């Protein structure tokens, strides 16, 4: 058999786990129309679907790699890392959203969650512009439904959905416009082929067109990672949306956005030899984006009194920290082969993404647990005196907030350390070396600014007394499982981050 | 007449782009203008000759806009049933839109026996999966009561 056909046939094998997920989602959709289905059944089926997908990942893995410049799907280490992260997040979010919807709507919600999980997993596998776009849309479209389903009646919830829908569609259009420029330049949609062709084109007269493409792609994906000028939907959507979906929104689009950015801009590393000036321009773009995003996120976070709005701005600030890794990514090419390094940009991003996911989802779990319609937990004052009334919730929330501040022995610290070190360790031969040192300093200053508003919540929980105790819902078993998994992750990889660092390093080895 | 130059594309030898090939557009433009003018003039003529009654009412004088009031705010409420039907229409529309090119390309004369042997089954089952997924969408809509006009 000739290897071209072999490659094309294998592409289907690579998508078996995602196809399985979508299949289970279809079953859930149909089940939702039957009478007498409750949320427990839907939840167990969703967990079963994720288990089937994880198992089929190991059984259906193709043995021989295909031709990179032909295949639309690539099963490299990066793809496997993103896939495992997506499935684990999917399981955590199924547990989170277990009691989010009533019995009638729960199976629709779970089905949408599974499809979005399949989409975010496919982003890591995609090796083709069209496939990448479809995978990103597969994350976005179910999100509209997930934002809407749990809170049909609330005005704020409806506002959140409409805002998210309109801006998400606009960002997809910008992304597609950027992709069309890349396709116009290179004449191919295959990412591996684009990595080969684009460096040669930007060296010549096409650098202006390539800059337009990069700007539009960054704008489109910037919406998903809530980078600075595209972040303004986040606070309103987080405030109005159901907490389970907000946890999804805070993490999954960021994973898929950064995975797509790393895949698309890997060519900058190989372009430095032929187009130094162009690579410098691109690095400058990400440098500015990173510095503004983290500063804006933290400064706006200071002004917030609502916990979920605060978390939204904290998400913006964290996206800024992670953009440091993207800005320093091209400098890797200037490094000597045997030069040791603490962390490169991409591997710091991969590590920080997981740390950020654990602490953000964890924080939202506790908020969702304490919240009830009679005694809402929305502002900082609402968690006052939590140490006395709900000591376990206070302890868990404390761990997550300390991780967000970036105190040592938490995963948040290890992640920030790696990111700032990746900027400080930019090789001496790289252009803008001093600017990267400055970026690390800006990051450290920002971490200090951010500490203020996280500490405000900790202060309220532990040092103030409560006026009325929150009245959590009685059935919160699945929520607690998610919270404890996130807490264990945060502490374990804060105390001993090496295994996770090694995994991240292996994942981005090719970048 | 100037003969168009031939160029070699991926699809084979084709004639190069030439604006003159698009002259039917102008014929179409002429027919459209002629129809509009002749119907206006014709209706005036019939009226002047007394062959057509003239009893205008407010509704008759209104511009025809599919049953909507053409003057006024465009921000009115539509019944959500229209949107449901529109979405449901997509199920069938997308199906057709995709099946036509599939049926033209999949087993056309251009596909070699070798190709058929390797991918023939795959292409068939792909379209079956596509149809099933649309079928699931149809059943879902049906069970959710989209077809009940209430």
Q: Summarize pLDDT for B60-76 with one digit per residue, the tens.
A: 888 877 777 777 787 87
Interface TM-score (ipTM) > 0.90: no
Q: Whole-angstrom Cα distance, residue A79 to residue B59?
A: 64
- Return the closest-CA partner of residue A382 out of A460, A486, A450, A459: A460
Which pLDDT belongs to residue B109? 64
Q: Is the pLDDT score of A197 beyond 80? A: yes
Q: Mutate which of B10, B91, B113, B118 to test chain A, going by most A C-beta atoms within 10 A?
A: B118
Residue in B closest to A35 by C-alpha: B143
Whether residue A385 contacts residue A461, with contact meaning beta carbons closer than 8 Å, is answered with yes
- Terminal Cα distance for chain A, rounded: 31
> With a CB-CB cutoff of 8 Å, which residues 12-31 of chain A face chain B?
12, 26, 29-30
Average the pLDDT over A345-369 and give the result.
93
Q: Is the pTM of this model over 0.95?
A: no
For chain B, count helices (H), then strands (E).
4, 2
Contacts of A449 (CB under 8 A, 6+ apart): A298, A299, A302
Question: Residue with structure tokens 């023939």?
Answer: B120
Most confident region among A111-125, A377-391, A462-476 by mean pLDDT: A111-125
Backbone angles phi, psi at A145, to 5 degrees: -65, -40
Q: Across chain A, what does the average pLDDT equal?
A: 89
Q: How far is A240 from chain B (nearest CA, A)?
A: 23
Band (A1; pLDDT cuts 50, 70, 90)? very low
Task: Please judge whether A9 and B136 are an interchain contact, meaning their C-beta atoms are less than 8 angstroms apart.
Answer: no
Task: Please judge whether B136 and A8 are an interchain contact, meaning their C-beta atoms are less than 8 angstroms apart.
Answer: no
Which pLDDT belongs to residue B11? 64
Which pLDDT belongs to residue A163? 92
Q: Whole-angstrom Cα distance, residue A147 to residue A26?
A: 19
What are the chain A neighbours of B140 within 8 Å (beta carbons)? 29-30, 33
Q: List chain B pLDDT tens, one digit each, 150 residues.
A: 445 566 776 666 777 777 788 889 999 999 999 999 999 999 889 888 888 888 888 888 888 777 777 777 878 777 888 888 888 888 788 888 888 888 887 777 666 777 777 777 888 888 998 899 888 988 998 888 888 877
Q: How far is A145 from chain B (nearest CA, A)?
A: 15
Task: Please judge whether A8 and B119 are an interchain contact, meaning their C-beta atoms are less than 8 angstroms apart.
Answer: yes
Q: Mutate which of A1, A4, A5 to test chain B, going by most B C-beta atoms within 10 A?
A: A5
Residue in A closest to B132 by C-alpha: A26
Residue A230 is given by DSSP the state: G
Q: Is the pLDDT score of A430 beyond 90? A: no
Q: Give A151-193 pLDDT, tens digit per residue.
A: 777 888 888 899 999 999 999 999 999 999 999 999 899 999 9
- Return the closest-CA partner of residue A265 out of A141, A385, A349, A173: A349
Q: Give A386-420 pLDDT, tens digit per residue.
A: 898 889 999 999 999 999 999 999 999 999 999 99
Residue A144 contacts B where some CB pair is shorter than 8 Å: no
Residue in B closest to A1 by C-alpha: B118
Task: Please judge whether B122 and A9 are an interchain contact, meaning their C-beta atoms are less than 8 angstroms apart.
Answer: yes
Nearest to A29 among B118, B122, B140 (CB): B140
Residue B122 contacts A where some CB pair is shorter than 8 Å: yes
Q: Give A53-87 pLDDT, tens digit per residue.
A: 999 988 877 666 677 888 888 888 899 999 999 99
Residue in B closest to A22 by C-alpha: B133
Q: How remote is the C-alpha of A18 from its chain's centroid?
A: 18
The DSSP result for B23-77, as a single string, is THHHHHHHHHHHHHHHHHHHHHHHHHTT-S-----HHHHSPP-TTS-SSS-S---
Whether residue A361 contacts residue A96, with contact meaning beta carbons closer than 8 Å, is answered with yes
Backbone angles phi, psi at B70, to 5 degrees: -75, -20
Nearest to A29 among B118, B119, B136 (CB): B136
**How much is the CA Rg of chain A, to the nearest whole Å?**
22
Question: Residue with structure tokens 């919406």?
Answer: A223
Tokens at A444, concatenated: 């450290």
Neighbours of B111 (CB within 10 A): 14
Tokens at A133, concatenated: 């776009």
Domain borders along chain B are 1-72, 77-150
Average the pLDDT over A292-319 and give the result.
94
Q: Whole-angstrom Cα distance, residue A131 to residue A335?
A: 32
Whether residue A371 contacts residue A470, with contact meaning beta carbons closer than 8 Å, is answered with yes
Q: Whole-angstrom Cα distance, residue A247 to residue A208?
A: 39
Whether residue A265 contacts residue A417, with contact meaning beta carbons closer than 8 Å, is answered with no
Average the pLDDT over A141-146 and give the result.
93
Q: Whole-angstrom Cα distance, residue A379 to residue B122?
A: 56
Q: Give A120-143 pLDDT, tens digit per residue.
A: 999 999 999 999 999 999 999 999
Residue in B closest to A108 by C-alpha: B140
Residue B51 contacts A where some CB pair is shorter than 8 Å: no
Backbone angles phi, psi at B15, to 5 degrees: -80, 145
Burial label for A208, CB within 10 Å (0-12, 13-18, 19+), is exposed
Q: Which residues of A386-419 are buried (b: 16+ CB within 10 A; e: fewer)?
A: bbebbeebbebbbbbbbbbbbeeebbbbbbbbbb
Which pLDDT belongs to residue A468? 81
């Amino acid at each position: 058999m000739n290897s071209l056909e072999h490659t094309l046939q294998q592409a289907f094998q690579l998508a078996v786990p995602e196809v399985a997920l979508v299949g289970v989602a279809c079953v859930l959709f149909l089940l939702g129309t039957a009478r007498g289905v409750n949320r427990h059944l839907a939840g167990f089926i969703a967990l079963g679907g994720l288990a089937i997908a994880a198992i089929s990942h190991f059984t259906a893995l193709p043995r021989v790699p295909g031709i990179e410049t032909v295949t639309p799907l690539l099963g490299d280490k990066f793809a496997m890392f993103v896939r495992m992260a997506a499935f684990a997040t999917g399981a955590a979010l199924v547990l989170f959203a277990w009691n989010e919807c009533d019995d009638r709507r729960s199976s629709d919600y779970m089905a949408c969650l599974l499809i979005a999980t399949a989409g975010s997993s496919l982003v890591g596998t995609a090796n083709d512009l069209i496939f990448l776009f479809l995978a990103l849309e597969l994350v976005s479209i179910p999100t509209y439904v997930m934002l809407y389903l749990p809170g049909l009646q609330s005005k704020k919830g409806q506002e959140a959905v409409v805002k998210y829908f309109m801006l998400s569609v606009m960002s997809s259009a910008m992304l597609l416009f950027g992709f069309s420029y890349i396709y116009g330049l290179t004449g191919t949609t295959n990412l591996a082929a684009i990595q080969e062709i684009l460096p040669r084109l930007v060296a010549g007269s096409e650098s202006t067109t390539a800059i337009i493409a990069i700007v539009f792609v960054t704008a489109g994906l910037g919406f998903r990672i809530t980078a600075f000028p595209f972040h303004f939907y986040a606070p309103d959507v987080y405030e109005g949306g159901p907490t389970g979906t907000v946890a999804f929104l805070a993490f999954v689009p960021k994973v898929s956005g950064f995975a797509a950015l790393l895949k698309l801009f890997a060519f900058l590393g190989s372009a430095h030899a032929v187009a130094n000036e162009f690579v410098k321009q691109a690095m400058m773009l990400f440098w500015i984006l990173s510095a503004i995003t983290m500063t804006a996120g933290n400064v706006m976070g200071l002004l917030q009194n609502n916990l979920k709005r605060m978390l939204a701005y904290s998400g913006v600030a964290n996206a800024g920290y992670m953009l440091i890794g993207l800005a320093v990514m091209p400098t890797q090419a200037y490094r000597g082969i045997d030069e040791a390094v603490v962390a490169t940009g991409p591997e710091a991003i991969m590590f920080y993404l997981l740390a950020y996911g654990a602490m953000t989802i964890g924080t939202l779990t506790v908020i969702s647990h304490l919240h009830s319609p009679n005694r809402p937990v929305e502002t900082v004052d609402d968690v006052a005196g939590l140490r006395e009334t709900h000591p376990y919730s206070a302890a868990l929330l404390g761990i997550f907030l300390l991780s967000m501040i970036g105190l040592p022995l938490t995963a948040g610290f290890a992640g920030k350390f790696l990111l700032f070190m990746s900027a400080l360790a930019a090789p001496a031969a790289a252009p803008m070396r001093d600017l990267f040192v400055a970026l690390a300093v800006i990051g450290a200053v920002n971490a200090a600014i951010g500490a203020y508003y996280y500490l405000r919540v900790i202060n309220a929980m532990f040092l103030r007394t409560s006026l009325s105790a929150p009245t959590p819902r009685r059935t919160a078993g699945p929520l607690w499982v998610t919270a404890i998994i996130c807490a264990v992750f945060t502490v374990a990889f804060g105390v001993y981050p090496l295994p996770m660092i090694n995994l991240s390093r292996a994942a981005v080895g090719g970048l | 007449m100037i003969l168009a130059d031939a160029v070699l594309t991926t699809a084979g030898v084709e004639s190069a782009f030439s604006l003159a090939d698009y002259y039917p557009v102008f014929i179409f433009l002429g027919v459209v203008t002629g129809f509009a003018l002749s119907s206006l003039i014709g209706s005036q003529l019939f009226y002047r000759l007394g062959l057509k009654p003239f009893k205008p009412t407010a509704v008759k004088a209104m511009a025809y806009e599919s049953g909507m009031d053409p003057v006024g705010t465009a921000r009115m409420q539509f019944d959500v049933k229209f949107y449901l039907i529109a979405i449901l229409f997509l199920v069938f529309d997308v199906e057709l839109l995709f099946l036509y090119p599939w049926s033209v390309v999949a087993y056309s004369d251009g596909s070699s026996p070798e190709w058929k042997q390797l991918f023939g089954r795959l292409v068939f089952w792909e379209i079956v999966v596509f149809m099933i997924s649309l079928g699931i969408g149809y059943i879902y809509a049906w069970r959710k009561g989209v077809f009940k006009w209430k």
